[in-house]
Amino acid sequence: MKGLRIFNKRILRVGLAFCLLMISAFTDTSPEHVSEINTLNSISMEVRDMHFLRLLQEQKEEAHVLRPNESYQLVIDAIAKVEVRNNEENQVFSLTLNNFDVLQFSNDENNTYELLNQNKQCIGTWWLTNKVDQFFIEGELFRELRKDEHIQFIFPEMVRLTNPKPVNTKISLGVADYLKTYNIELPETQPSQRAGLHQSTKYPSLFVTSKIEVNGIKASVAKPGDEVEFFIIATYEGNTKVPIYFRDELNMLQNESGLAVLDDPFATAQPMANISVLVNGVEANTQTWLGNLRDGYVYMEMIKKTVVAISYKIKVKDVSDIPMDSSLMQEGNFLLESKVSVEDIHFTQNLEIKLPRLTPWFTIDDENENDFGDPGEILHIRMGMYNQEATVLEQMVIKSEMETLSLFLVEPESVKVHVYIDSFLQPRNYTLFDLLNGTIKETLQPNQDLEILVVCKLKSMEEFQNQGLETFAITKNKAYIGNVRLENQFTIGRLYYLEASAKKLCLSTCQSPTVSPGDKIEFTMTLTNHGNQSSNNHQLRMNFLNNIEFFDLVKSEQEQPMIMLPFNEDENTKAQALSNLFSSDTAIQVDIPPVTQMDVSFSLYLKPYASIGAYDLDKLAQDLKSELVTSFLLDEQVAFIKQVSIPAGKPLVDVQLQRLDTAEDTVFPGQRVSMQTVITGFDEIAKQTPLQLDVSDFASYVKDIENVPVMITYYDADGNYREVQTSLLNLQAGEDDLVYLQANQQATLTFSLEFLATFAPDVALTMQIEANGIRAQKTLRTTSSIPETGWDRGQSDLLWWFVLPMFVWCSFLLMRGYKKRRYK
- The model carries a pTM of 0.37
The DSSP line for 322-366 is: S-EEHHHHHH-SEEEEEEEEETTEEEEEEEEE----EEEEEEEEE
Stated as kind and residue range, the H or E segment containing 709 is strand 709-715
Residue 274 has a pLDDT of 93
Is 688 a residue whose pLDDT tops 90? Answer: no
Of 34-43, 75-84, 460-469, 565-574, where does the model show the most confidence? 75-84
Checking if the pLDDT of 614 tops 60, the result is no
**Contact at 8 Å (CB) between 79 and 48?**
yes
Model confidence at 766: pLDDT above 90: yes
CB 538 within 8 Å of CB 601: no
Distance CA 686, CA 518 (A): 10
Contact 146, 788 (CB under 8 A): no
Hey, how many other C-beta atoms are within 10 angstroms of the C-beta on 329?
16
Give residue-wise pLDDT tens across range 249-289. 999 888 777 888 899 998 877 899 999 998 877 788 999 99
- pLDDT (mean) for 593-605: 84
- Mean pLDDT, residues 204-232: 90
pLDDT at position 328: 62
Q: State yes or no: pLDDT of 616 exceeds 50.
A: yes
Of 772, 796, 499, 527, the C-alpha closest to 654 is 772
CB atoms within 10 A of CB 796: 12
d(CA 750, CA 677): 7
Split at pLDDT 50, 70, 90, the class of 790 is very low
Q: How confident is the model at residue 788 (pLDDT cuts 50, 70, 90)?
A: very low
- The pLDDT value recorded for residue 237 is 84
> pLDDT higher for 342 or 617?
342
> 231 near 312, Cβ under 8 Å?
no
Mean per-residue pLDDT, 684-699: 80
Q: ∠344-349-351 over CA atoms, to 5°?
A: 170
Q: Which of 398, 391, 387 has its CA nearest to residue 357?
A: 387
In this prediction, residues 556-572 reach a mean pLDDT of: 77
Among 470, 463, 409, residue whose Cα is nearest residue 436? 409
Per the prediction, the chain carries an average pLDDT of 79
CB contact at 8 A, 639 and 633: yes
Nearest 5 degrees, angle CA 211-CA 215-CA 220? 40
**Contact assessment for residue 796 and residue 682, using Cβ atoms and an 8 Å cutoff:** no
Residue 197 banded pLDDT, cuts 50, 70, 90: confident
pLDDT of residue 35: 32
Sort 811 into a burial class: Cβ within 10 Å, 0-12 / 13-18 / 19+. Answer: middle
What pLDDT is recorded for position 507? 54
- HEC string of 362-401? EEEEECCCCCEECCCCEEEEEEEEEECCCCCEEEEEEEEE
- Distance between CA 61 and CA 67 in Å, rounded? 14
3-class SS at 72?
A: strand
3-class SS string, 5-62: HHHHHHHHHHHHHHHHHHHHHHCCCCHHHHHHHHCCCCCCEEEEEEEEEEEECCEEEE
d(CA 239, CA 782): 72
Name all contacts of 785-794 with Cβ < 8 Å and 24+ positions apart.
785/668, 785/669, 787/83, 787/147, 788/83, 788/147, 789/28, 789/30, 789/32, 789/33, 789/82, 789/83, 789/147, 790/28, 790/33, 790/36, 790/82, 790/83, 791/26, 791/27, 791/28
Of 5-19, 450-464, 704-718, give the lowest mean pLDDT range: 5-19
| pLDDT score for 731 | 86
Alpha-carbon distance of 291 to 272, in angstroms, equals 8
Q: Is residue 378 pLDDT above 70, yes or no?
A: yes
Note whether 153 and 126 are within 8 A (CB): yes
Task: Say if residue 775's pLDDT is above 90.
Answer: no
Predicted confidence (pLDDT) at residue 194 exceeds the cutoff of 50: no
Residues 6+ apart with CB under 8 A from 800: none
SS3 category, 727: strand
pLDDT above 60: residue 450? yes
pLDDT tens per residue across span 18-58: 655 655 555 444 433 333 333 334 678 888 888 888 766 55
Residue 132 has pLDDT above 70, yes or no: no
At 650, is the pLDDT very low, low, confident or very high (cuts 50, 70, 90)?
Answer: low
pLDDT value of position 540? 86
DSSP letters, 665-704, are -EE-TT-EEEEEEEEEE--SS-EE--EEEE-GGGTTTBTT
**pLDDT value at position 789?**
46
Q: Residue 791: how many CB atoms within 10 A of its CB?
A: 16
Residue with the bigger pLDDT between 26 and 241: it is 241
- Distance in angstroms between the alpha carbons of the first and the last residue of the chain: 12
Per-residue pLDDT, 325: 66
Instruction: Tell me how far CA of residue 728 lies from CA of 188, 712, 756, in angstroms.
Output: 69, 12, 17
**Would you tell me how many other CB atoms lie within 10 Å of the CB of residue 145?**
24
Q: Which comes out higher in pLDDT, residue 413 or 608? A: 413
Residue 485 pLDDT: 84
> Which residue type sits at 537?
N
Strands (E), 467-543: 472-481, 484-493, 496-505, 520-529, 535-543
CA dihedral 280, 284, 286, 292 (to 10 degrees): 0
Q: Is 93 exposed, middle or buried, given 0-12, 13-18 or 19+ CB atoms closer than 10 A? A: buried
Taking the C-alpha atoms of residue 211 and residue 196, their distance in angstroms, rounded to an integer, is 9
Partners of residue 287 on adjacent β-strands? 274
Of the candidates 70, 155, 146, 76, the one whose C-alpha atom is nearest the C-alpha of residue 112 is 155
* Other residues' Cβ atoms within 10 Å of the Cβ of residue 28: 17
Is the pLDDT at 685 greater than 80, yes or no? no
* Range 382-401 average pLDDT: 86
List CB contacts of 132: < 8 A, sequence separation 6 or more.
none
Give the whole-angstrom CA distance, residue 497 versus residue 491.
12
Query: Bridge-partner residues for 589, per DSSP?
Result: 539
Please state the φ and ψ torsions of residue 458, each to the nearest 5 degrees.
-80, 155
* Confidence label for 400 from pLDDT (cuts 50, 70 and 90): very high
Rounded percentage of the chain residues whose pLDDT exceeds 90: 22
Nearest to 723 by CA among 710, 736, 735, 714: 714
- Residue 752 has what pLDDT? 93
DSSP 8-state code for residue 240: S
Contact residues for 377 (Cβ-Cβ < 8 A; gap 6+): 366, 367, 368, 457, 458
Helix axes 2-26, 804-823, angle to 10 degrees: 150
pLDDT at 361 over 80: yes
pLDDT of residue 637: 44
